[in-house]
Amino acid sequence: MENKISVGLLGLGVVGSGVIKLIENHQDKLAHQLGCSVQVKSVLVRNLEKARDVEINGTVLTTNPDDVLNDPEIDIIIEVMGGIDETRKHILKAFSAKKHVVSANKDLVALHGPELQEAANQNKCDFYYEASVAGGIPILRGIVEGLSSDHIQQVMGIVNGTTNYILTQMDSEGVSYEDALKEAQELGFAEADPSSDVDGLDAARKMAILGRLAFSTSVDLEDVEVTGIRGIELEDLQYGDKLGYTMKLIGFANFDDHELEVNVQPTLLAKSHPLAAVKNEFNAVYVYGEAVGETMFYGPGAGSLPTATAIVSDLITVIKNLRLGVTGNQWIEPHFKKALKTAEKRHAQYYVRLFARDEAGVFSTISSLFHERDISFKRILQTPDKKREYAEIIFITHDTTLENFRNALENLHELDAVMEVKSYYKVEGDAVT
């Protein structure tokens, strides 16, 4: 057997630098676990002259991808360059050259994961991507291996640290969305253009990956319904707090009766829910299995070394498979044909905040409208303002179907007595106040 495994790295940014540091610093441990040393032989970069904060002794830097992808001495490719189209071509080329691939690229895996996995399988190659979801949290391995004997029914989580930081600051410090976003950008938790995070696309891509693995069915990105956190007002967090809830951007995936529901949306979580205590930039994924019941995976969702830890863990798995001669065998075809739940089968509680005329009989009219659609109220707050002759009404419904709630909401907009439906959000859990 070889006493050295050579690795090629695509990308040398923050995460790529972390990968090199871990491999160099953990040589003794790697040799103990694997019976061989691990060497980063060459790295694809965009700029050879750029200053680096990592030592690359003995490693060749190149701007030509073929120097990495076609090198017969390189056994495994680690992809941390990001992007989609160009990166997809590189990975497919790596598989054609019988090279195994470890990736941290959630965008690529969400959009082209099944295609890449099939290409890996055809070439008897491994393809692992633990770092694509929740950084250093071993959630994918936990689902695929740790819970492989169970029937997973639900996965929900905080899978975007930027939005969780913003909502935590709004909740704990009482600052506006705009101010919390600005602070997140200054601290490096949010990009200059935060659209992918605050509009929910980053979380949606991660939920597509989680849904595929948890439920053994096809989940495309367009199957994930997405609502971001733009427009969330401090008042909703404050009213939620009074009612025993806290606001989080939640990725939610449910699978029962062989029907799938996947969405990302701001959600009021009961403070007793395990995810409600997850603060700032941290991530957590809550998994409910038929046999095991409730489990939760918690930790840093991003960062150089946490993400690099997940990548190197995948690298170790690939090397073990190589030395055992069992590479290219981890992929299993989806077990279930995809079927999406319709609105009449999707159940939840809902929070609504509206402004209505402060007149006798108005709330009774609103209540009757919901009652006609078999929706009852669980909690109610009302704050009259005689100066403006309107009342601010906040209520949380009991469990109802999405179809009934949408119909009630549409009719609510049509009531003359209702001046404005200010906001509405999904509610998870039973609050204790």
Q: Which residues are catalytic?
A: 206
Q: How many helices and strands in the chain, by DSSP H and E?
A: 14, 17
Q: What is the C-alpha to C-alpha distance for residues 269 and 429, in angstroms, rounded to an integer?
A: 6
Cβ contact 153:290 at 8 Å: yes
Q: What is the C-alpha to C-alpha distance for residues 194 and 197, in angstroms, rounded to an integer?
A: 6
**Secondary structure class of 28 (helix, strand, coil):** helix
User: Which CB contacts under 8 angstroms, 24+ apart, belong to 47-52?
Assistant: 52/12, 52/17
**In this structure, which amino acid lies at residue 107?**
D
Nearest to 371 by CA among 349, 347, 394, 400: 400
**In this structure, which amino acid lies at residue 5?**
I
Nearest to 249 by CA among 206, 213, 292, 220: 206
Q: What is the C-alpha to C-alpha distance for residues 276 and 430, in angstroms, rounded to an integer?
A: 12
Residues counted in the chain: 433
Q: What is the C-alpha to C-alpha distance for residues 169 and 219, in angstroms, rounded to an integer?
A: 33
Strands 225-226 and 245-256: unpaired
The C-alpha angle with vertex 277 and arms to 405 and 382, in degrees rounded to 5, equals 45
**Residue 22 burial class via C-beta count within 10 angstroms: exposed 0-12, middle 13-18, buried 19 and up:** buried
**H-type alpha helices, 80-176:** 85-96, 106-122, 139-141, 161-173
Phi, psi (deg, nearest 5) at residue 401: -85, 155
The C-alpha angle with vertex 245 and arms to 355 and 423, in degrees rounded to 5, equals 25
